[in-house]
Structure 1
Amino acid sequence: MIHQYINNGYHIVLDVNSGSVHSVDALFYDVVKALSDVVADMEKPEKLTEDQRNAVVSALEGKYPKEDLEDALSDAQELIDAEELFTADIYKDYVVDFKKRQTVVKALCLHIAHDCNLACQYCFAEEGEYHGRRALMSFEVGKKALDFLIANSGNRVNLEVDFFGGEPLMNWNVVKQLVEYGRSQEKAHNKKFRFTLTTNGVLLNDEIMEFCNKEMSNVVLSLDGRKEVNDKMRPFRNGTGSYDLIVPKFQKFAESRGDKDYFVRGTFTRNNLDFSNDVLHFADLGFKKLSVEPVVAPPEAPYSIREEDLPQIVEEYDRLAKEFVKREKEGRGFKFFHFMLDLSQGPCVAKRLSGCGSGTEYLAVTPWGDFYPCHQFVGMEDFLLGNVDEGITNTKVRDEFKLCNVYAKDKCKECFARFYCSGGCAANSYNFHGKITDAYDIGCEMQKKRIECAIMIRAALAEE
């Protein structure tokens, strides 16, 4: 399967099944396009026949010299021989084995606080309540969750625990206790915890920053961009904006992180479809690790992203990619999460097929100890998997997630992006289509555009 596109002047040819990316000239681009038509019915072409070569030359001879076309066809044959062009799909053969694998849990999202001190308009957690009551996780429940993770992680050494909410800092003492407990168990069980935290920053202080810099491998700092954008969507409960309080704290925290990871993470909505300005605003504030995600909301929500917004969103990603390259070449670059694409290696086969592992490798834990496939399913009783006392009892739902992969989704089977996005978000699929094996169409279009931009960036920077 071949995917071709032109972005910011770069002609890109992507061989989907091998992951090979070729930045080519216009002639070779057209030759591959013509070849795609010629070999469309073949599972994998081997040696191009004389008839196939002649068909390509005949189609393009009026545009390019015949000799140049013959040379390009020879180059294409070399790439075919090297299995970097028109390669066969070998990944579908792994799906059967993957289904039979023993379930190993490697990550938990601890809902340390079902409460929040902000009233973000788009919050799927309903201001931290998650369709239920406000609650803080006790140390006892969190301890049982960590014990469950250790017991169900098999031979895996590295385990991840994300402190999430609501707002985790509203239950800060328990966060510290659970980190201490986790560290105390590492040596005895040959495990190593990677703790992460997501915070809105309202309660950040020097003591919390110091602790996080010591113990948290990554910290996600929630901010939506320019002051007017952030304060419209992320106000306090009394309606006042949060930007002026939070930004100085985030700047201080980011500066103090040293070589440890952090991301300033925003959400763009229909109110700021010019979101590239918010990403660049983050960069201009001095932040180096950035992420701005599209809101996922019901179509009736006034801030939801709709199909008619996609042309502008596509232009914004192109604009951002172009500025990303410019700043990188000027020595004032930054990281943007959706442009971070590893073309040399990338995820393992299992991750390429199944994605985030929600419901199997990754679980969310409520303050009272219930397990759900991920934070977006919390409160949906049909997806209740079990609890910290009894473990996973709803194996039927768990096994449904176990079988959720790019070959189980009709929309993914012939999509060029399937091995990069791994089928997208199961929660978004369920919320928009009522099943986890579909795909959120608007999200797919944005994801495909981000991948195209990320590949173009790699090509542009490779010229240096």
Structure 2
Amino acid sequence: MIHQYINNGFHIIMDVNSGSVHSVDPVMYDAVKIAAQLVPDMEKAAALPKEAEEKVLLELLSTYEEAEVREALEEIQFLIDEGELFTKDIYHDYVVDFKKRKTVVKALCLHIAHDCNLACKYCFAEEGEYHGRRALMSFEVGKKALDFLVENSGNRKNLEVDFFGGEPLMNWDVVKQLVEYGRSKEKEYNKKFRFTMTTNGVLLNDEIMEYCNREMSNVVLSLDGRKEVNDQMRPFRNGKGSYELIVPKFQKFAKLRGEKDYYIRGTFTRNNMDFSKDVLEFADLGFESMSIEPVVAQDEEDYSIRQEDIPAILEEYDKLAVEYIKRQKEGRGFNFFHFNIDLTQGPCVAKRLSGCGSGTEYLAVTPWGDFYPCHQFVGEEEFLLGNVDTGVTNTQIRDEFKLCNVYAKDKCRDCFARFYCSGGCAANSYNFHGSITDAYDTGCEMQKKRIECAIMIKAALAEG
């Protein structure tokens, strides 16, 4: 499968099955495009047929010199021989073995607090309540969750635990107790816990910052960008904005993190489709790592992103990519999550096929110890998997998630982005289509654009 596009003056050819990416001149770009149209089943051939070569030559002679076209045809054959163009799909056969694999749990999202001190308008957790009741996780429930993780992690050494909410800092003492408990088990079971946390920053203080910098491998700091944008969507319950309180804390925290990971995580909505300005606001505030995600909401919400908004949003990603390159070359670059892409190795086969691992390798745990496939399914009773006392008992749902891969989704099979996004978010698919094997179409369009921008950026920075 071949995907081609032009972005910021760069002519990009992607060979989807091999993961090979080529930044080429216009004649090579056009030659591959015509060849792909002439021989749609090229993946089954070892060479471009002579008849097709002649047709490519004839079509391009009105635009390019004959020597240029013949050189491009030679390059096409060279890349075919090297396994970097028109390659076969070697991953499909792996899918049949997925359900047979022993389930190994490697990560938990601990809902340490179903409560929050903000009232973010787009919050899927309903101010932390998750369609249920406000509650704080007890140490005993958290301890059982960590025991479950250790017992079900097989031979895997590195385990991840994310403290999530609501707002985790509203249950800070239990967070510390669970970190201490996890550390006490590492040597005994030959495990290494990687603790992470997501916070809105309201309760951050020097003691918490110092502790996090010692114990948390990554901290996600929630902020939506410019003051007017953030305060419109992330107010306190009394309606007052949160920007002025949390930004100085986040700036101090980011400086204290040193070499440890953190990133600012924002959400953009229909109210700020000029979100590149919010990303640049993060950078200008001194933050080095950031992400801004599109809101996921039904059309009836006034802030939701709709299909008619997509063209403007795609242009905004292009605009951000150009500024991203400019700042990188000026020595004042920043790390934007969606523009990070590894073209040398990429994800392993399992990751390419199964994505985030929700429902199988990754589970969410409620304050009272129930297991769900991920935080976005919490409160949806049909997805209740079990609890910390019984373990995973709903194996039917678990097995459905185990087979939730790019070949199980009709919309993914012929999509060039399938091995980068691994099929997208199961929760978004369910919320919009009632099935975990569909795809959230609006999100797909944005994801494909981000991938294209990320690859173009690689080409631009390689050029110097």
TM-score when scaled to structure 2?
Answer: 0.99
Tell me how far apart the structure 2 counterparts of residues 42 and 10 of structure 1 sit (CA, whole Å).
25
Aligned to 1:60: 60
* Per-residue Cα deviation, 1:303-338 (whole angstroms, up to 9, x for no partner): 000001011100100000000000000000000000
**Aligned 8 A contact 2:412 2:418 in 1:** yes
- Aligned counterpart, 2:85: 85
What is the CA–CA distance in structure 2 between the aligned matches of 1:268 and 1:149, rounded to whole Å? 34
- Corresponding position of 1:245: 245
1:186 maps to what in 2?
Answer: 186
Distance 1:416 1:48 in 2: 22
- Does the 8 Å contact 1:358/1:401 carry over to 2? yes
Deviation digits for residues 342-362 of structure 1 (CA, Å, limit 9, x no counterpart): 111111010000000000000
Shift of 1:169: 0.0
Q: CA deviation at 1:63?
A: 1.1
Q: Structure 1: how far apart are the matches of 2:299 and 2:392? A: 34
C-alpha distance in 1, partners of 2:44/2:19? Answer: 15
Cα distance in 2 for residues equivalent to 1:145 and 1:41:
50
In structure 1, the partner of 2:374 is 374
Counterparts of 1:219-258 in structure 2, within 5 Å, are: 219-258=219-258
C-alpha separation between the residues in 1 aligned to 2:42 and 2:324? 39
User: Which residue matches 1:444?
Assistant: 444
Quote the residue 1:201 is aligned against. 201
Letter in 1 for 2:268: F
What does the per-residue CA deviation read over 1:173-192, in whole Å, with 9 as the maximum and x for residues that have no partner?
A: 00000000000000000000
Equivalent residues of 1:128, 1:165 under 8 A apart: yes
Residue in 2 that maps onto 1:98: 98
Deviation string 1:109-141 (CA, Å, 9 cap, x unpaired) is 000000000000000000000000000000000
Q: Distance in 1 between matches of 2:59 and 2:45?
A: 19
Q: Check whether the contact 1:39–1:45 (CA below 8 A) recurs between aligned residues.
A: no
AA of the residue aligned to 2:405: N
Equivalent in the alignment of 2:215: 215
Q: Which amino acid aligns with 2:289?
A: K
Q: CA deviation at 1:42?
A: 3.6
TM-score (normalised: structure 1): 0.99
Q: CA deviation at 1:392?
A: 0.3
Q: CA RMSD in A?
A: 0.6
Q: How does 1:114-193 map to 2 (within 5 A)?
A: 114-193=114-193
- Give me the identity figure in percent: 78
**1:342-421 matches, cutoff 5 A:** 342-421=342-421
Instruction: Compute the displacement of 1:48 (Å).
Output: 2.0
1:235 maps to a residue whose letter is: P
CA contact (8 A) 2:23 2:459 kept: yes
Superposed CA offset, 1:356-407 (max 9, x none): 0000000000000000000000000000000000000100000000010000
Alpha-carbon deviation of 1:214?
A: 0.3
Amino acid aligned to 1:67: A
Answer yes or no: is the 8 Å Cα contact 1:360–1:373 preserved in 2: yes
The 1-side partners of 2:312 and 2:288 are apart by 25
Gaps of 5+ in 2: none
| Counterparts of residues 273-288 of structure 1 (less than 5 Å) | 273-288=273-288
Please name the residue that 2:313 is paired with: 313
**Cross-structure match for 1:333:** 333
Structure 1 residue 41, shift from structure 2 partner: 2.9
The structural deviation recorded for 1:98 is 2.3
Residue identity matched to 1:435: S
Tell me if structure 2 keeps the 8 A contact 1:105–1:153: yes
The aligned residue for residue 76 of structure 1 is 76
How many Å separate the matches in 1 of 2:132 and 2:47?
A: 62
Deviates more, 1:155-164 or 1:89-98: 89-98
Q: CA deviation at 1:263?
A: 0.6
- 1:460 paired with 2:460, answer yes
Read off the aligned partner of 2:186 and give its amino acid letter: E
The question of whether the paired residues in 1 share the 8 Å contact of 2:36 and 2:42 is answered with no
1:258-269 equivalence runs, <5 A: 258-269=258-269
* Aligned residues of 2:16 and 2:416 also touching (Cα < 8 A): yes
CA distance in 2, matches of 1:261, 1:245: 22
Question: How far off is 1:195 after superposition?
Answer: 0.2
2-structure distance, mates of 1:391, 1:179: 21
How far is the alpha carbon of 1:99 from its aligned partner? 2.5
Unaligned stretches of 5+ residues in structure 1 = none
SS in 2 for 1:99: coil
Q: Is the 8 A contact 1:355 1:423 kept in 2?
A: yes
Q: Distance in 2 between matches of 1:252 and 1:41?
A: 56
Q: What is the rounded CA distance, in whole Å, between the counterparts of 2:50 and 2:374 in structure 1?
A: 54
What is the aligned length?
Answer: 464
Partners of 2:23 and 2:216 in 1: CA distance = 39
